[in-house]
Amino acid sequence: MRITVVGSINLDLVASAPHLPRAGETVTGATLARHPGGKGANQALAARRLGAEVCLVGRVGDDAMAGEAIALLDAGGVDLSEVDVDPAAPTGVALIAVDPSGENQIVVAAGANHFVTPEQLPARIEAPLIVQLELPVETVEAAVGRATDFVCVNLAPAAPVSDQLLRRADLIVVNETEAAFYGDLLHHGGGRVVTTLGSRGAVMHQRGAEIARAAPPKVRAVDATGAGDAFVAAICVALLEGMEPEAALGFACAAGALAATRPGAQPSLPTRSEVEAIITGS
């Protein structure tokens, strides 16, 4: 299986703190770590670790952070031939605060991701496609318009998109906040819509009717960063392999749960064998 991911590439600066700050509050006593991240990059590496061949289309800056941002992608065997280097814009950065329960707050400075334009995209995208909304919306819509196969749209972070994009998607993935933002628009097409429910698992709808539901395995959450991206990659891999909806949801819930048990986005992404082991209890 070969998958194309069009998406963001960031370096995550993660502060693990005693609690998340309220508005105007300074929280001390944190520890700092640096991890590769970005929704596009995370989903690309997650799909690769789950067994797919993956090509990532994206952009980094011509700076020292670029090497860190793509290091695990390169080591993991993701095809980076479509990742461009921007001579003027910096590599994207995400500032992440994490509390002991794994909850987080994230602020993203898009940097070079903001300059991924439709001109950078292939004229035709013949492999199954995964996109998110950390790139300019016009670029995301152009990618979906050039796709000739399966299209997964992860509507994160929530932003206005065209009805045409929503109708073209074979699979839409949202969390509860994003689902509330889009409302009934999610169900106007004929594709499947998956809503993640955190520790309560996920539910799949088609044409507004529930068709499957699954719960994650019980784990001790450390850092939820990257868990949603592991879920997106896993549900795509599972459906493309022909799993039935309920089994596919269970597979994706297991991948997301495992990612939450380790710190960082890309370092936490599970392998295929790890996901299968936690499903079977072995």
Which residue numbers are catalytic? Answer: 229
Measure the CA–CA gap between 6 and 131, rounded to whole angstroms: 5
Pick the closest to residue 226 from 31, 41, 42 (CA basis). Answer: 42
Measure the CA–CA gap between 112 and 114, rounded to whole angstroms: 5
DSSP 32-54: EEEEEE-HHHHHHHHHHHTT-EE
| CA torsion angle 144 147 149 154 (round to 10) | -20
Pick the closest to residue 4 from 51, 37, 40, 49 (CA basis). Answer: 40
